[in-house]
Chains A and B, each alone.
Chain A
Amino acid sequence: MVIRNRLGLHARAAAQLVKAANRFESEILIEKDGAAVDGKSIMSILMLAAQKGSIISVTTHGIDEKQAIAAIKELIGNGFGED
């Protein structure tokens, strides 16, 4: 997936992503340039330093993995409701 909002995964977007991730039981991994981090940890997400245009991949694993990936896909897809 491509990060589309202007400021990238900044504080507001990262907070939204982590909040969404924490609603699910499943393990959620966000990967950028070969580094995979815990999607439920804001520090990890911020440290990915995903600017606009970055390509990231999302993997979910667990009982609600389908719902989890759909929710995160939607959030990133609509640029976190920004722009």
Chain B
Amino acid sequence: MVLEKIKFVKDTCYVGLGVSPGIAIGEVFFLSRVREPGVSRTISADQVGEEIAHFQEAVALFKQQLVDAKGRITDKKMHQHLFIIDAHLLILEDKMFLNETVARIRDDLLNAEGAVKNTLRSFENLFDSIEDEYLRDRKADLESVGDRLVRNLRGETIRSVDEIGEKTILAAHDLSPADAMQIDRKKVFGLLTDRGGRTSHTAILARSMGIPAVFGLGNFTATIPNGMPVILDGTNGMVIINPSDGTFKEYLAKKQTLEYIESRLAQLRDLPAETQDGKRVSLRANIEFPAEVGSAFKHGGEGVGLYRTEMLFLGRNTLPDEEEQFRDLREVVEKMAPHPVTIRTLDIGGEKILANESYQRETNPAMGLRAVRFSLRETGIFKNQLRAILRASHYGRARVMFPMISSLVELRACRECLEEAKEELRLAGTLFDPQMPVGIMVETPAAVMIADLLAKEADFFSVGTNDLIQYCMAVDRGNQNVAYLYQPLHPAVLRMLAMIARSAAEAGIPCEICGEMAGDPLYAPVMLGLGFNELSMNAYSIPVVKRVIREFRYGDAEKLVAALINFTTAEECREHLENEVLKRFPDLSQASRI
């Protein structure tokens, strides 16, 4: 049979889960394609002995492969992960697994492949009923063991990681942790898989090795030919096949900027974010998993300015209890100490976390029952979260903030719940920080207009620019027909930002920006000049923003803002800003901005 060579359109884009950030450019190399399903076949009674022996050989071979893999791992840093290989070895030695498979061959007269498949499937079903997400995810380990076992039974030789050439983007249906550990980082620039999630062992490995990775790409490996040029963007979970010259250049520039930042990280990390004329700014990280604290430190973050708590609630059938939330929050607060961690209470709608008829999909969720509106209705869930936050506050410097506040009544109601939660903890004799600051997200135009009133009752402000711009301009960024109206430099937006900063300054409370604007170096002088001295962003943006701040004068930033405020359109503002900033930082061109 002649296979027709499939032509790939330039810039074919795949979207998956970005599990390890960074950009990689190279040629794709397939370690394994679609999982071998394992074909069930009935055997005759006199074949049973032979089939059992065949199974035992495949197990022995696999054990040898794992022991060999262990021996090849020389990198000391990888040793802490060797337990994964041990766990796979123990599965292969597990009496329950071995006996059940042999029983299936003998009693059901199944071939070894079919018996392995059925045994593992019965275990996998049991795993699905486990509530704890981490423990449930260990199912992936079983799948990985089953896949290799079936290949061994078929006598397939598996391409080993040694065959890999230069500039490789390694692709596999599902990459086993054992394979991932043996990767030569000089050759392998990125990882792609059809399966796998953020908490899979291989994803954790990829992050700790600093290899960009996109997982969960569906049937990617079944469709792409070996050697295909590919761009991997692990930050945004994107894969571009057969890139055009333009795309290639764009990503090369992004990659070089990242590498430049990376190379200057060590120098910049310990230097303060201070302007030439001595104005000190605090740069913090926006994170959503405790595992990201390391990245915040590595990039020089002085704390976490936005800890999103939604992740713990999504993708599960039951709500996390106070204890689970506390463990998660405590880890972040404790690791980040003595730097502050700002914890935002739930910022989603009820339909995402409760299978309750009263929380059905809304026609206009952006303006619906979400954030504090939801929390104040489900005070049980809210107070659980508040108690977990309070308990975590004992282990470092925690701050709590309430999202989507649009009135003083809401802020007061939130504070009341917090006081009740404190009282409950006091009665139980549980420790917490009684002085924990209480802030609000300023992201509705209503909150901006009463910022002076809110500032009297909040301990700090944090401006969520993404939502504020959407609500201010009445524009849905996701709608391509109107997305052009999402203008951070629109005079309406600038005036709002100025108003928020002034109200905070008059009340003497700290004021932070934690939206995307904070991480864009072009806007750094604007936010500085407006008077925001705490910026929180994706960890990898911290060095670029820090560089601009360190090379700017606060006096110049103030003058720049004074000029911008006088322009009448967003277009004029943008032109003026680009001229002023690019004059000083010519390498900060559009293409190289992240």
Contacts and interface: CB of A to CB of B under 8 A. Distances in A.
Interface of A: 6-12, 14-16, 18-19, 38, 40-44, 46-47, 49, 51-53
12 contacts: A7-B134, A8-B134, A8-B135, A12-B87, A15-B86, A15-B87, A43-B91, A43-B94, A47-B126, A49-B136, A51-B132, A53-B323
Nearest to A40: B95
A14 B87 contact: yes
Contacts of A41: 94-97
Contacts of B123: 43, 47
Contacts of A38: 95-96
A62 B213 CA distance: 49
Given A41-B96, A49-B135, A18 B90 contact: yes
Contacts of B131: 49
Nearest to B132: A51
A39 B141 CA distance: 19
A49 B432 CA distance: 30
B127 interface: yes
A52 B134 CA distance: 12
B358 to A, nearest CB: 30
Contact of B327 (A6, A12, A15, A42): A6
Interface in B123-172: 123, 126-127, 130-132, 134-136, 138, 141
Given A38-B95, A47-B123, A49-B131, 20 more contacts: A6-B327, A8-B134, A8-B135, A11-B83, A11-B138, A12-B87, A15-B83, A15-B86, A15-B90, A18-B90, A19-B86, A38-B96, A42-B91, A43-B97, A44-B94, A46-B135, A47-B126, A49-B132, A52-B323, A52-B327
Contacts of A51: 132, 135
A52 B331 CA distance: 14
A50 B161 CA distance: 35
B84 interface: yes
A44 B96 CA distance: 8
A42 B86 CA distance: 10
Interface string B79-108: 000011011001100111100000000000
Q: How large is the interface on B (under 10, 10 to 19, 20 to 34, 35 or more residues)?
A: 20 to 34
Contacts of B331: 6
Given A10-B138, A49-B135, A53-B323, A42 B130 contact: no
B127 A47 contact: yes
Contacts of A43: 91, 94, 96-97, 123
A42 B134 CA distance: 16
B62 to A, nearest CB: 15
Nearest to B80: A12
A22 B73 CA distance: 25
A16 B89 CA distance: 12
Nearest to B290: A6
B132 A42 contact: no
A53 B97 CA distance: 28
Contacts of A46: 127, 135, 138
Contact of B141 (A9, A11, A16): A11
Nearest to A12: B83
Contact of A42 (B84, B87, B126, B135): B87
A24 B91 CA distance: 18
Most buried by A among B97, B138, B201: B138
A8 B87 CA distance: 15
A82 B127 CA distance: 24
Contact of B94 (A42, A49, A53): A42
Contacts of B97: 41, 43
Interface in B194-249: 201
Contacts of B91: 42-43
Contacts of B327: 6, 52
B343 to A, nearest CB: 19
B135 A10 contact: yes
Contacts of A6: 327, 331
Contacts of A40: 95
Nearest to A37: B96
Most buried by A among B94, B123, B131, B327: B94
Nearest to A44: B96
Contact of B90 (A8, A9, A10, A19): A19
Contacts of A14: 87, 90
A49 B95 CA distance: 19
A7 B331 CA distance: 12
A28 B94 CA distance: 14
Contacts of B201: 11
A63 to B, nearest CB: 19
A67 to B, nearest CB: 21
A16 B90 CA distance: 10
Contacts of B138: 10-11, 46
